[in-house]
Amino acid sequence: MKSLRKVPIGLALLSLFAVPVYSQTRPDSSRAEKRDLPLLMQRRSAVRVPSAETRVFTQRGAYVPQAVFSASMKAQPEEGRLVRVQGAATVDATDTSSSWLQWAKDDRHSGFIGIQGQRLDQILANIVYDANIPDELGLNGGELLVHYQTPLTDGNDVFMASKAGTYTLDSYATQTWHQNRFSWQNGQLVRIWTFDTDWVAPGNVHDFWEPVYHAAVVGNFVYDPGVGGTIFKLRRSDGSVVKRINPFGNKVDKNTFTASPLTVDQAGNVYYNVIKIAPNSSDFYSNDVASSWLVKVTPGDTATKVSYSDLLSQATIKGDPVPAGTDQCHVAFSPAQLPWPPSPDAVSPTTTCGSQRAGMNVGPAIGSDGTIYTVSRAHFVTRYNYLIAVNPNLTGKWAASLRGHFNDGCNDGTVPGSVLPVNGQPGGCRVGSHNGVDPEVNTPGPGRVLDDQSSTPTVAPDGTILFGAYSRYNYAQGHLMQFSSSGDFLDAFGFGWDSTPAIYRHGAAYSIVIKNNHYSGLGSYCNNDTICPPDRTATNPASPEAFFVSQLNHNLNLEWSFQSTNTNSCTRNPDGSITCVSDHPHGFEWCVNAPVVDVNGVVYANSEDGNMYAINQGGTLKQTIFQQQALGAAYTPASLGPDGKIYSQNRGQLFVVGNANTVASTWWDTFKR
């Protein structure tokens, strides 16, 4: 999700005048660098269709979703609580190569599975897992600003998070989170148990999009995030608690947060990130972070941890030195000085950096030699970040700065890779600017880490590391950054925002699959409509609004792209019919932060048009299936089951899709029962 989804014409005026709360910092509430997710994110495209035709399609195979399966509506459980739904079947041992047990499938975050995906012929299951959808949409201008767990699959079992409680703008912690085990029985996805965790998300919508609550499956156990930087070890068979694993002894501190998906290596060790904010902080950024840790839990439940300050002091630093928390870090020029940079040699202002800590939602990745890869950021400033390599004994190996690597900014017409208009033109930098610089700070562009994003490192088969970083000056597309196994920066591709790329292995080679959204409805590098016009296609025809899924080779060179061309915003009605309005002349952005690639190279990805897409190698369309609603949302992951079923998400609902000959309940069957 980059900018707000267009809605049917009757609601268009309302959405245009609504102010997106997540793009603003509350006055005097935070010392952090101002989030520059564009103020005009609500506009999907500068072109709106004034008299869109509404069409209604009847689809008898549509689904009425099952009831929300959060078992407890308790405001906040003091301890994890289990609700058994039925007697659990015996858990069979399953080949983990065909299982999806964690974020992006495995400890390298490859997103690749060695089985063939089923066809997108029919919806086999449709379950609402977020009870707070009406409030989340209503309070955020129609956007769904929540990161969700990947559906985890192993044998006949499916594990999925759910949410209940009360959604508010000022604290995510008024909600409750739950882990659920389902099992396929006679063609039905049946809930076996629900575990009510005491984990809460830090912050609020003014700080960042809702962080992800994300479990992992390890053999006969499920590891689930808990409060205070702890995790629960659950029995997979019945969801009962084996123990709470606390790296901090017996104390459970409400200001300490398990802040990433859980990663499991091939030996069964569990890794995750923890962030502790200062006591009595009025919000997440009101004070410097108290500390942050990388945690490792062995199969024997021994927990060890290392602080990010220790990791960075031990590691060999590649590039810019690590600033102290009290040092000054550069931020963007004042909007009063537009167009940027104010002069060829202007120096941007500074603010207090804040201490280095784990980036929100960054799940550690594990290399074949056991090296752990994670990402840190300055607490107050998004432009001072490090990809950190950690030895298996939790000592720092190297840390590569994400600063100063991009030279695709200001453009006199000769800058390779720049998507900015020529200097002096609308959307371009000030005349006389140095080629390639980020106009916001007048230096080579940095890879930025926002706490809104869910990007995690991916380890490629050759040992190189990929990370999707944010950049505002290229229409907020960000960059996919590539580093060697020794921490040297190799290259970058011009999209990376909120994305964990997938790896397609074919023979001795591999390719990289990533969404590649060319956003519009926002300025090229600023939020001033005069200096940076929001209509990208009209003002920058050399780089128009368009939305792709792209495949790159190992050197980040483009192999193929598949473009979204659907123009219809559709909604599934309670009676199973589908109502559509044609209001997206340039297509829809891809709403996936972790795509799936099957053994044949077929790519499965969600789109904000509400469809799940299957895309062949070469970039041709294989198949689509509509789910629930065209919707702007924080990007969501997908997964594949061991039998090839596709697990997808749309509007807080889990969709399972597969072959036409698979047994499933239609909405009509459900009604008759």
pLDDT tens sequence across 591-635: 999 999 999 999 999 999 999 999 999 999 999 999 999 999 989
- The yes-or-no verdict on residue 269 having pLDDT over 90 is yes
Q: Distances in Å between the alpha carbon of 49 and those of 13, 23, 45?
A: 12, 26, 10
DSSP secondary structure of 201-257? --S-TTTSSBPPP--EEETTEEEEE-BTT-EEEEETTT--EEEEE-TTTT---TTEE
Q: 528, exposed or middle or buried, with CB in 10 Å at 0-12, 13-18, 19+?
A: middle
**What is the C-alpha to C-alpha distance for residues 83 and 69, in angstroms, rounded to an integer?**
11
Q: Are 444 and 436 spatial neighbours (Cβ–Cβ below 8 Å)? A: yes
Cβ-based neighbour number of residue 469 at 10 Å: 29
The span from the CA of 265 to the CA of 220, in Å, is: 15
Task: Note the pLDDT tens digit of each residue in 469-491.
Answer: 999 999 999 999 999 999 999 99
**Segment 69-97 mean pLDDT:** 44
Q: In the structure encoding, which two tokens stand for residue 541, read together?
A: 């025809």
Whole-number percent of the chain with pLDDT over 90: 82
Q: Which CATH class is domain 9-322+354-406+445-672?
A: mainly beta
Determine the pLDDT at residue 44.
32
**Distance (Å, whole) CA 529 – CA 427:** 9
What is the C-alpha separation between 26 and 22, in angstroms, rounded?
A: 10
- 611-615 and 603-606 strand pairing: antiparallel
Interval 511-553: pLDDT, tens: 999 999 999 999 999 999 999 999 999 999 999 999 999 999 9
Residue 665 banded pLDDT, cuts 50, 70, 90: very low
**What distance in Å separates the CA atoms of residue 338 and residue 356, rounded to the nearest whole number?**
31
Burial 1-23 (b: 16+ CB within 10 A, else e): bbbbbbbbbeebeebeeeebbbb
Domains of the chain: which residue ranges?
A: 9-322+354-406+445-672
CA–CA gap between residue 349 and residue 344 (Å, rounded):
15
Q: Which two tokens stand for residue 95?
A: 């080949």
Per-residue confidence (pLDDT) for residue 537, from 0 to 100: 97
- If one counts every other C-beta atom within 10 angstroms of the C-beta of residue 92, the result is 9
First-to-last C-alpha distance (Å) of the chain: 38
In angstroms, the CA 502 to CA 112 distance is 6
C-alpha closest to that of 641 among 264, 7, 105: 105
User: Hey, what amino acid is at 171?
Assistant: S
**638's tokens:** 């997908």
Amino acid identity of residue 575, one-letter, is D
- The DSSP call for residue 406 is B
pLDDT score, position 258:
98
Please state, in angstroms and rounded to a whole number, the distance separating the CA atoms of residues 585 and 531. 24
Q: What is the pLDDT of residues 117-156, one digit of tens each?
A: 999 999 999 999 999 999 999 999 999 999 999 999 999 9
State which amino acid sits at residue 205. V
Bond into 457 cis (ω within 30):
no
pLDDT band, very low/low/confident/very high, at 38 (cuts 50, 70, 90) = low
Asked whether residue 182 carries a pLDDT value surpassing 90, the answer given is yes
What residue spans of 502-582 are helical by DSSP H?
536-539
Q: How do the residues of the chain divide into helix, strand and coil, expressed in percent and rounded to 5?
A: 5, 35, 60
Per-residue confidence (pLDDT) for residue 97, from 0 to 100 = 72
Q: Specify the DSSP element, H or E, that contains 558.
A: strand 558-563
Average pLDDT for the chain: 88
Cα(163)–Cα(130) distance, rounded to whole angstroms? 5
pLDDT in tens, 436-468: 999 999 999 999 999 999 999 999 999 999 999
Closest C-alpha to 363, from 247, 242, 212: 212
- 400 has which bridge partners? 318, 387
Cβ atoms of 540 and 427 closer than 8 Å: yes
Task: Give the pLDDT confidence score for residue 41 in this predicted structure.
Answer: 41
In this structure, are residues 371 and 353 in contact, taking their beta carbons and an 8 Å threshold?
no
C-alpha 603/C-alpha 471 separation (Å) is 26
User: Dihedral sign, CA of 210, 128, 261, 147?
Assistant: negative
Degrees, nearest 5: CA angle 640-644-649: 40
Q: What six digits make up the tokens of 117?
A: 């995906």
Look at 73-87, 146-160, 175-189, 401-415 and tell me which has the smallest mean pLDDT: 73-87
- Rounded to 5 degrees, what are φ and ψ at 153? -130, 140
Name which of 641, 271, 201 is nearest 456 in CA terms.
Answer: 271
Give the separation between CA 263 and CA 260, rounded to whole angstroms: 9
pLDDT at 337 over 60: yes
pLDDT for 82: 57
Contact 408, 543 (CB under 8 A): no
User: Could you write out the DSSP letters of every residue in 358-404?
Assistant: EPTT---EE-TTS-EEEEEEESS-TT-EEEEEE-TTS-EEEEEE-SS
* pLDDT surpasses 60 at 573: yes
pLDDT above 90 (res 649)? yes
Q: How confident is the model over 342-364, as pLDDT tens digits? A: 999 999 999 999 999 999 999 99
pLDDT band of 185, cuts 50, 70, 90 = very high
The sign one gets for the Cα dihedral 284, 290, 292, 293 is negative
Contact 263, 228 (CB under 8 A): no
| Inter-residue contact 223 to 213 (CB < 8 Å) | no
Name the pTM for this structure.
0.90
Is the pLDDT assigned to residue 236 strictly greater than 70? yes
Per-residue pLDDT, 80: 56
Q: For the beta carbon of residue 524, count every other beta carbon within 10 angstroms.
A: 27
Where residue 154 falls (left for φ over 0; alpha for ψ -120 to 50; beta otherwise) is beta
398 close to 372: Cβ distance less than 8 angstroms: no
- Map tokens 């890794």 to a residue: 271
Read off the amino acid at residue 327.
D
- Close Cβ partners of 336 (under 8 Å, ≥ 6 residues apart): none
By the 8 A CB rule, do 549 and 615 touch?
yes
Predicted confidence (pLDDT) at residue 421 exceeds the cutoff of 60 = yes
Query: What is the identity of the amino acid at 554?
Result: H
